[in-house]
Amino acid sequence: MTDVSASAQTLKPARQLAADTPSRFPGESADYRRARNELLAEEIELRRHIERVAEQRRALPPGGVVPEDYLFVGEAGPVKLSEMFGEHDTLVTYNWMFGPQRARPCPMCTSLLSAYDGEMPDMLQRVAFAIIARSPIERLVAFKQERGWRNLRLYSSGGNTFNRDYAAEDPAGDDNPRSTCSRARAGTVRHFWAEEMDLRPRTPGRIHAARRT
């Protein structure tokens, strides 16, 4: 793993980078440029922090062995979790908030999945990707057709505990949006990473999608 602290020491300070930018816009004042450079320095620091977090994520040690080869229902019939990997050794799943208790799926999930549908041909070159929800597969497919999605692979988890085990869903039916990542090595499937920010105390004023209907 790269020494993040050592690599950070070789970077030019963000404020210096911001001050050195040649960008100027017509009619801007000196006050505007000072404020914009202050913001630019923060934007540079934010990007660097995101890169450090991504490096930490990639360096995670092996996670726990997946406790069972969960059985789902896909668009072509029953399929096991291990079969979802296909030719890849990495499987990304997205927990779609469209449980049987919902009249319609979460609008924020729907917006995200519409974006994924366009990107999916590129994503599937690198990893397997499954969209999972607890509603019956017929209901998922009907909504897929309504939206015109072409590239999403849908699976119903109504007959297993995958959502509860890896998306922290309430057994009573309160579903959560969550991305997870698993890896298959030498015939063993291990959990690698999952979103956990939604389990932390909530920030006042922030919109939390997990409880929106």
Q: pLDDT digits over 44-102, tens only?
A: 999 999 999 999 999 999 999 999 999 999 999 999 999 999 999 999 999 999 999 99
Domains: count for the chain: 2
Dist. CA 195–CA 179, nearest whole Å: 6
Q: Is residue 151 part of a domain?
A: yes
Q: Are residues 24 and 101 in the same domain?
A: no
Sign of the CA dihedral running 109, 111, 91, 81: positive
Say whether both 52 and 134 belong to one domain: no
| Whole-number pLDDT of residue 49 | 97
83 and 175 part of one domain: yes
- Predicted TM-score (pTM) of this structure: 0.82
Query: How far is the C-alpha of 127 from the C-alpha of 39, rounded, in Å?
Result: 36
Give the confidence band of 14 by pLDDT, cuts at 50, 70, 90. Answer: confident
What is the domain range of residue 75?
71-199
Same domain for 89 and 46? no
Which pLDDT value is given to residue 8? 52
- Does pLDDT of 126 surpass 50? yes
* 12 shares its domain with 101: no
Check if the beta carbon of residue 96 is closer than 8 Å to that of residue 163.
no
Specify the CATH number for the domain of residue 106: 3.40.30.10
Residue 15 has pLDDT above 70, yes or no: yes
In a domain, 161, yes or no: yes
Q: Clarify whether residues 34 and 88 are in a common domain.
A: no
Domain assignment present for 208: no
* CA atoms of 70 and 165, how far apart (whole Å): 11
